Structure 1
Amino acid sequence: MTVSPRSAMVLAAGLATRMRPLTNTTAKPLLLLGGRTLLDHALDHLVDAGVQTVAVNAHWQADAVAAHLVQRPAPPRTVLLREEHLLETGGGVKAALAVLGADPFFVVNGDAFWLNGPISALTRLAAAFDETVDGVLLVHRTSHVHADVGYGDFALDKWGVPRRRKEREVVPYIYAGVQLIHPRLLAGMPEGAFSMNKAWDNALAAGRLRAVVHDGMWFHLSTPPDLAEAEQILEARITGDARWPWR
């Protein structure tokens, strides 16, 4: 059963300390890549997927994030949620449930940047979602990432069921910062700050988490050199410069 999410959340409240000095006075989702902010790229993807309402949390430079959303033409309808104290990924999403509703919704990291393959990544997540799962994660092959991503995050079986990396193990997939979840994923989670990893672990233990491998381009944007290299790769993709391979 394919779902058709009409709501989503963009996580834009992080401090982005590794992206300094670029984020000394700017929220990371407002950094430019390819002539548009990372936040706008995320919102564009969500609009293309049919999303109508997007909750955006903010903490660092929240006024700037708010101003940017105000000047952006609709769709989607955006609702800014200011976090006086950081709630982390899971707590931020749980605090937005009143906006997101009772049906499955997308969650996109504010620094997630990807180009679709033959079929939209969000469409593929929706196609993989059914009543047997509480969440579907978009993952990317670590061998296809132009940045240091450590030892990876997950291994997958042939049915797309993920498992965590074991100690001292290298696994082939990294979480790509995009997921489709049902509100029940957060049932029983505490109020206040907590990581989405805790909810994922509960779903993994219950056999209710799946993953889809991204088949387009994806960029790990953690540091200023990551952002600069992504800009060069995008330009090379347009100009056909063979010195910059992409996957």
Structure 2
Amino acid sequence: MTLVPLTQAVVLAAGLGTRLRPITDTMPKPLVPVAGKPMIDYGLDALADAGVSRAVVNVHHFADRMEAHLAAYPRLDIIISDERAELMNSGGGLKKGLSLLDPGIAYVMNADLFWIGEKHGSPTNLQKLAGFFNPERMDMALLCVPLERTTGHNGKRDFQLDQDGRLSRYVDGDNPVVYAGAIVLHSSLLDDAPDDAFNLNIYFDRAISKGRLFGVVMDGEWITVGTPDALPEAEAVIARHSTGV
């Protein structure tokens, strides 16, 4: 179990957001406002609420605008991982980002996925995930959500969550879950990773093959905004939560 709060994170924010065009023709996806708040700020706030003080954020699409926004974000010390020259995909971006932090355990967050409706007075979803992570048994711990508590998702079931908390790729089973876009891992997991672009799914599958991919089910409602049509639905869910309806 993690004995001290995690204080460092990597936020993956360099994607092109092609499915969100034409909105992303004029701005980076993480800065698209959802209910008046830039998408990435939901994730940054969640990290700050969990006790994180320093985060690496990778940038590529409209990188100057991302840097300006992140420089003004008040709650975290943010380090830029510059991918202007070449997109590194999820795995390459994560390895490069981790190299800018201290070796050790860290959060990993996707900038375009977030959640609302955590229970007040209880540990946050990220704090629960950190407390669950045990590097002796696990390569990674993933935050997960049941399909019925997702908004804007395409309906895909990512993993099967077994009674002992282990994850496997979903084929069948009675506890399918969606990957909610947050991970806790030890930076040494990627020590053997290539230095160029690669997909983090390689490490998910490697961990599954060793029985070392685990998951925790989050509280609240999970939101993704992949297309322009998903924006009104996301904002309606946020409005319902804010009014308690």
TM-score (norm 1): 0.91
The more displaced of 97-106 and 79-88 is 97-106
| Match of residue 218, structure 1, among 216, 219, 222 | 222
Partner of 1:244: none
Aligned residues of 2:160 and 2:173 also touching (Cα < 8 A): no
Question: Higher mean Cα deviation, 111-120 or 122-131?
Answer: 111-120
| Percent pairwise identity | 39
What SS does the aligned partner of 2:115 have? Answer: strand
User: Which structure 2 segments of 5+ residues have no match?
Assistant: none
Pairs within 5 Å for 1:195-214:
195-214=199-218
Q: Does 1:228 align with 2:232?
A: yes
Larger mean Cα displacement after TM superposition, 129-138 or 58-67: 129-138
Distance apart, 1:117 and its partner CA: 2.7
Where does residue 245 of structure 1 map in the other structure? Answer: none
| Shift of residue 116, structure 1, vs aligned partner | 4.7
- Which secondary structure state, in structure 1, belongs to the residue aligned with residue 81 of structure 2? strand
- CA deviation profile, 1:222-246 (whole Å, cap 9, x unmatched): 11121221111211222345xxxxx
With over 3 angstroms needed to count, the CA separation of the structure-2 counterparts of 1:43 and 1:101, relative to structure 1, is: same
CA contact (8 A) 2:160 2:167 kept: yes
Find the partner of 1:194 among 193, 198, 206: 198
Equivalents in 1 of 2:194, 2:100: separation in Å?
Answer: 18
Q: Deviations over 1:146-199 (max 9, x none)?
A: 334233100011011000123x99972111111111112213221110111111
Equivalent residue letter for 1:91: G
In 2 relative to 1, CA 14–141 (structure 1 residues): closer, same or farther, beyond 3 Å?
same
Label 1:147 to 1:212 Cα distance change in 2 as closer, same or farther (>3 A).
same
Most deviating of 59-68 and 93-102? 93-102
Matched residues in 1 for 2:21 and 2:175: separation? 29
Contact 2:116 2:238 in 1 (8 A): no
1:165 aligns with 2:170: yes
Name the CA distance, whole Å, in 2 between partners of 1:28 and 1:14.
8
- Greater Cα offset, 232-241 or 134-143: 232-241
Which position in structure 2 is the counterpart of 1:142?
147
1:51 aligns with 2:52: yes
Q: How does 1:26-175 map to 2 (within 5 A)?
A: 26-73=27-74, 75-83=75-83, 84-118=85-119, 119-130=123-134, 131-166=136-171, 172-175=176-179
Q: Determine the C-alpha separation between the residues in 1 that align with 2:78 and 2:51.
A: 14
Q: Secondary structure at the match of 2:12?
A: strand
AA paired with 1:234? I
TM-aligned CA deviation for residue 204 of structure 1: 1.4
Any runs of at least 4 consecutive aligned residues in structure 1 with deviations exceeding 3 A, and if so which? 168-171
Amino acid at match of 1:155: Q
Cα displacement string for residues 76-129 of structure 1 (whole angstroms, at most 9, x for unaligned residues): 110111111110111001012222221110111010111253231101101111
Work out the CA distance in 1 between the residues paired with 2:151 and 2:46: 22
> What is the identity, as a one-letter code, of the residue corresponding to 2:55?
V
Tell me, yes or no, if the aligned pair for 1:145 and 1:218 is still in contact at 8 Å.
yes
